[in-house]
Amino acid sequence: MADPTLDDLRRYAVARTLFKATTLPGAIRRLGFVQADPIRAPARAQDLTLRHRVKDYHAGDLERRYARLAIEEDCLVNYGFLPREHLALMHPREAKRAWDAETQRKAAEVLAFVREHGRVHPRQVEAHFAHGRVTNYWGGSSNATTHLLDDMHYRGMLRVARRDSGTRIYEAVAHAPCDDSPAGRAQRAAALVELVVRKYAPLPASSLTYLVRLLSYGAPHLGPQMQAALQKAREQFPSSRIEGTTWYWPVDENPASRRHAPDDAVRLLAPFDPVVWDRRRFELLWGWRYTFEAYVPAPKRRLGYYALPLLWHDRVIGWANVSAREGRLQPALGYAGRKPRDAAFRAALDDELERMTRFLSGPAEG
């Protein structure tokens, strides 16, 4: 295999994840994980990610079809959707912070209530137990029942059965027994590392290290085994040093393959799309810094509230903030360099805005 160039890595990074549109379960299976985000601008991140990879996909299809699919909401490197079989790599999950006796008692009571009532809305649990309020991660006040349900979900006592207007509806769950011996844990850690490499390749060495650290969020009890899996990955995954950076990719892929030729489409990507998720890689491949600024004070934003990276061929050349009013898109475009002036780009951009309009319109009735 010839050593890839940086141009090869750009083409490879785009082509391997923007595969031919398939079914919803097929796309999630190929992606391995789809990051979730609650902001709609103009749609949620998970929908913006899936629309490029699922045939005839419309905003909200994932939520509408979730209960009928073998997928789960859970934590991997962060929170999102993943094939159900991946849960066996992370559960039973041992949280880093143990519950005190009072929290354990409350969790046991809530679990008994959920088992008795089946699928429950957090309001049902709150009405029955009235747990009060706690201080959340951002320093504000959160409903204690919601906080406890989140913790129980994270620990694998509950699963998300479906959503009701965006709110999680929970049910009790029992995860299958797994091999929890040192060898079994090592095997699971290695599988998780391979999962993130397959999702985010090609990976700079620093990003591989960072992702393995994030995996401790999804599987904190595998920490020691994760470090060993990282060292093994560095030794076993193919790699190449290009312009001072070592890159890694899966053993059965060739970044220098001619099969990675880009198409002529323009695509507006989600801020957490696999093409752009890794900000280190983004700057190395495309030569400018993309930042997600929804939580940045407005006067300090460079790109806008919810800037969607703009991909053309194998280059991310700019961004767009998109709003939709009365069925019409209102995109505000920005460019990292010179704006393309040729008719082919304008036509491809028009096509993408039309696809976005259909995606936001919802499925046809009947």
Confirm whether 94 is domain-assigned. Answer: no
Confirm whether 113 is domain-assigned. Answer: yes
Q: Single out the residue in 204, 221, 248 at which a domain terminates.
A: 248
What is the model's pTM? 0.92
275-294 tens-digit pLDDT: 999 999 999 999 999 999 99
Quickly state the pLDDT bin for 143 (edges 50, 70, 90): confident
Q: Using the predicted structure, report yes or no on whether residue 138 has a pLDDT greater than 60.
A: no
Note whether 302 and 333 are same-domain residues: yes
Note whether 277 and 325 are same-domain residues: yes
Which CATH number does the domain housing residue 112 bear?
1.10.10
Q: Single out the residue in 28, 55, 89 at which a domain terminates.
A: 89
Confirm whether 253 is domain-assigned. Answer: no
Note whether 267 and 354 are same-domain residues: yes
Count of CB atoms situated within 10 Å of the CB of 205: 15
Confirm whether 95 is domain-assigned. Answer: no
Burial pattern 210-237, b for ≥16 Cβ within 10 A else e, equals: bbbeebeebbbbbbebbeebbeebeeeb
Pairing of β 79-83 and β 133-135: unpaired
Note whether 146 and 194 are same-domain residues: no
Note whether 332 and 244 are same-domain residues: no
The phi and psi torsions of 98 (rounded to 5 degrees) equal: -75, 150
Note whether 82 and 114 are same-domain residues: no
92-127 tens-digit pLDDT: 888 888 999 999 999 999 999 999 999 999 999 988
Note whether 85 and 21 are same-domain residues: yes
Alpha helices in the chain (DSSP H): 6-15, 24-31, 45-50, 61-65, 101-117, 122-129, 144-154, 182-200, 205-218, 223-236, 279-286, 343-361
pLDDT at 141: 55
Quick one: tokens of 137?
Answer: 């991660």
Note whether 160 and 209 are same-domain residues: no
Note whether 235 and 217 are same-domain residues: yes
Note whether 217 and 125 are same-domain residues: no
Confirm whether 136 is domain-assigned. Answer: yes
Distance in angstroms (rounded) separating the CA atoms of residues 31 and 7 = 23
Q: Which residues constitute the domain of residue 357?
A: 260-361
* Side-chain half-sphere CA neighbours of 194 within 13 A: 16
Q: Single out the residue in 33, 58, 89 at which a domain terminates.
A: 89
The more confident residue out of 145 and 333 is 333
167-203 tens-digit pLDDT: 999 999 988 888 889 999 999 999 999 999 999 999 9
- CA-nearest of 51, 70, 67, 68 to 59 is 51
What total of structural domains would you count in the chain?
4
Confirm whether 334 is domain-assigned. Answer: yes
The phi and psi torsions of 293 (rounded to 5 degrees) equal: -120, 20
- H or E element at residue 35: strand 34-35
Residue matched to tokens 């299958």: 176
Confirm whether 254 is domain-assigned. Answer: no
Confirm whether 1 is domain-assigned. Answer: no
